[in-house]
Chains A and B, each alone.
Chain A
Amino acid sequence: MTIKGKAYIAGIYEHPTRKAEDKSLAQLHAEVARGALDDAGLTRDDVDGYFCAGDAPGLGGLSMADYMGLKVRHMDTTETGGSSYVIHVAHAAEAIAAGKCTVALITLAGRPRAEGTATGTTSRNYGAASPDVPFEFPFGPTVVNQYAMAAMRHIYQYGTTSAQLAWIKVAASHHAQHNSHALLRDVVTVDDVVNSPMISDPLHRLDCCVITDGGGALVVVKPEVARSLRRPRVRVIGAGEAPKHQMGGKIDLTYSGAVWSGPAAFSEAGVKPADIKYVSIYDSFTITVLITLEDLGFCEKGHGGKFVSDGNLISGVGTLPFNTDGGGLCNNHPGNRGGLTKVVEAVRQLRGEAHPRVQVRNCDVALAHGTGGSLATRHGSATLIMDRG
């Protein structure tokens, strides 16, 4: 069975807030759900499938179904960190293809700023039952220094430079200047990035994504429903998912799970990297983008530094426009989970609803990719390919 053409993304919503001190987590989930259903032209009562991940409070899907008054016949709470929602789209398409639901709602929300979470620079303790904790937690693994080790190895092995990594942030900032909701709207230069404070070598402050509150939602529907709605149609045509971990101690930090999720998605969609007009690439850090682009086949392994340089990722300038909303690096990384907003901007591009200054001309095929967890220990890679239906 394939999911190609079996489901459409009919509704998208990105919460405009970036700091939600006055809102509860459940409230944010419900607000983004309303937003995405409104966007699709559907109502809460049309929803018969619900998808959420580890950011949902309490008993997750159960608690949120209760709060939102959902009556659904299919639920999926697949948790792969920030990439969960990219996987949810694929799983929703599978469920729709199997007749398990017709209108699937996916929600994400978080409020790390309101809660004062030191997201990047403190070690998270996953508890004594997590088998890796005794062998990692004492050594102070943080989000930043783990991704930094992947960057350090890429620099060592392939001659990648900090200036090349900086170009990824520069491109994101060029896009964010047009997004009135973006947390950071100032255009930055390569010098600005490499001269920003070193957080954990070789990653500077401006190599790191923003920390924001808010969230987003998606509505995935069966083709008959999509055809009944008055919105430009965006069709799911291919998806792949893969965990990558420490491989029993045979650690290689130079590639991600995208080496598996990418080919699966391209194969199902029947397209190649050269066919993709726009990419949303998970950008927790600049290095995440560089390694992912290599792994998805947009350039050769080790050539990512050269590929992203000189504005090649800037819409209207380079050959591969990416993250035209400003991405996680400048716009939004709600709840420290950036996968959902990756899908949102890809849908905007396919609909022709991106900001006119960053809209890609003739954007008929787009890709969204998520990397959840940690690049240096264990992460979930998810690739989603969509076209105009």
Chain B
Amino acid sequence: MAPAEPALEKENKPVSGFERKVPAPPVTPETQPFWSAAAEGRLLIKWCRSCDQAHYYPRSICPFCFGDTTEWREASGRGTIYSYSIMRRVPVPYAIAYVTLEEGVTMMTNIVDCDLDAIRIGQQVQVVFRPTEGGPPVPMFAPA
């Protein structure tokens, strides 16, 4: 890697009480219901009525059977950590992760409200919604 900015040369330790600013997700007509539900604290996923499977990220056309009979369903919000990493050489370290929902799909997210160094693959987590800069809240996860 090229040298980082001088201010980042020191080893970054996870900081509590100071959170990364979260950019707003661009909202499109195709996924607007997802974000409206997020504003109400509900996690929606797309389900295909033709092949009876959930997919993620949500689409109008099912990526499995290419059918157009997809519908929004509310997910339980419970899942397990499939993988994660702590991004350390940034001003505010944070945990990126893939969480596998009970419904079977795996989604990119952040793990929050915990000691970043205690995060483990296989850990049970529950959705929490976090504000973004000028957009709808996004689904993150905290230890269950």
Contact = CB atoms under 8 A, between A and B. Distances in A.
Given A135-B108, A136-B108, A201-B88, A153 B82 contact: yes
Contacts of A273: none
B107 A149 contact: no
Contacts of A247: 63
A4 interface: no
B24 interface: yes
Given A145-B96, A153-B82, A208-B1, A248 B25 contact: no
Nearest to B54: A249
Contacts of A203: 85
B54 to A, nearest CB: 7
A200 B86 contact: yes
B83 A156 contact: yes
A211 interface: yes
Interface string B110-125: 1000000000011000
Contact of A138 (B62, B87, B132): B132
Interface in A134-155: 134-142, 144-146, 148-153
Interface residues of B, number: 52
Interface size bucket, A side?
A: 35 or more
A142 B105 CA distance: 22
Interface stretch (A76-84, A91-99, A125-133): A125-133
A166 to B, nearest CB: 15
Nearest to A151: B85
A261 B144 CA distance: 40
A200 B138 contact: no
Interface string A194-216: 00011111110100111100000
Contacts of A131: 30, 57, 59
A140 B94 contact: yes
Contact of A251 (B82, B88, B89): B82
Interface string A292-303: 000000000000
A122 to B, nearest CB: 8
Contacts of A156: 83, 121-122
A276 to B, nearest CB: 30
Given A153-B83, A201-B86, A139 B98 contact: no
B4 interface: yes
6 contacts: A134-B25, A134-B26, A135-B108, A136-B57, A156-B83, A201-B85
Given A139-B110, A149-B85, 10 more contacts: A134-B35, A139-B140, A140-B110, A149-B84, A152-B84, A197-B88, A198-B11, A199-B1, A248-B55, A250-B105
